[in-house]
Amino acid sequence: MKRWIAVAAAAAALLAAGSGRAGSDAAAVPVPAPAAGEDGSPRALRKAGLALLAENEPARAVYLLRRAALDGDYPALVALERLRRAGGPNAPSLADMIAIETALAEAGDPVAAWRLVRRHETGEGVDPSAEEAVRWLKIVARKENAAYPKSAEAAFRLCEIYARGEAVPADETAARGWCAEAARRGHAGAAFALAQMKGVNG
């Protein structure tokens, strides 16, 4: 329930911004009715948004793609990022993308959390912050590989961070725990690091 409350709140804020580039609000953006057989699902919203892009209706297209992305449709998130990079009328800003990713990540979405890890490591649109990167890494690392393949890598990176005391106080117990988690998920480097830790400590 908390996931959907957080995402719904973010959706309200982002959709209120709507296509604000022209000073309008979301209510001023006509939303097309679903085509026959479509159910208003994130996938249907994304398909409708992409169709509107092809028809050169970027305001409505971005509105629907935002809705789909906030409902967890990853192709819609990718489409929005491509629009941002291309620029043009009604393209989402970097701040828009980070707001969407943050809402999803705070609700436990590992893909959005991984994107935020990268942003905080590179300083893209945010202040570089190792502490924030660790925060989002933990969300990714708590997922199983089946949910998101980067989870083993995230767990291993947390192992290294805690072992070295980077951005967090050094904590051997936490380091070993994250290494064990990464190794359990098949990360070869984690298995090697864990063996070394056991060797050093007998």
Helix, strand counts (H, E) of the chain? 10, 0
* Inter-residue contact 29 to 52 (CB < 8 Å): no
- The per-residue pLDDT for range 106-125, each reduced to its tens digit, is 999 999 999 999 999 999 99
Range of the domain at 78: 1-107
- Residue 148 falls inside a structural domain: no
Q: Using CA atoms, how far apart are residues 156 and 140, in angstroms rounded to an integer?
A: 11
- Residue 166 falls inside a structural domain: no
Which pair of structure tokens corresponds to residue 5? 């409350």
Tally of domains within the chain: 1
How far CA 78 is from CA of 1, 72, 73, 108, in Å, comes to: 26, 11, 9, 18
- Residue 98 falls inside a structural domain: yes
- The per-residue pLDDT for range 123-148, each reduced to its tens digit, is 999 999 999 999 999 999 999 888 89
Question: Could you count the other beta carbons within 10 Å of the beta carbon of residue 4?
Answer: 11
Q: Using CA atoms, how far apart are residues 106 and 201, in angstroms rounded to an integer?
A: 37
pTM of the entire predicted model: 0.76
The least confident of 36-45, 135-144, 179-188 is 36-45
Q: Using CA atoms, how far apart are residues 90 and 159, in angstroms rounded to an integer?
A: 42
Residue 200 confidence (pLDDT): 59
Q: What is the mean pLDDT of the chain?
A: 83
Question: Which residue in this structure is represented by tokens 């208003």?
Answer: 40
Give residue 28's pLDDT band: very low, low, confident or very high (50, 70, 90): very low
Residue 64 pLDDT exceeds 50 = yes
Cβ-Cβ contacts under 8 Å for 191 (sequence gap 6 or more): 183
Cβ-Cβ contacts under 8 Å for 62 (sequence gap 6 or more): 19, 49, 80, 83, 90, 91, 92
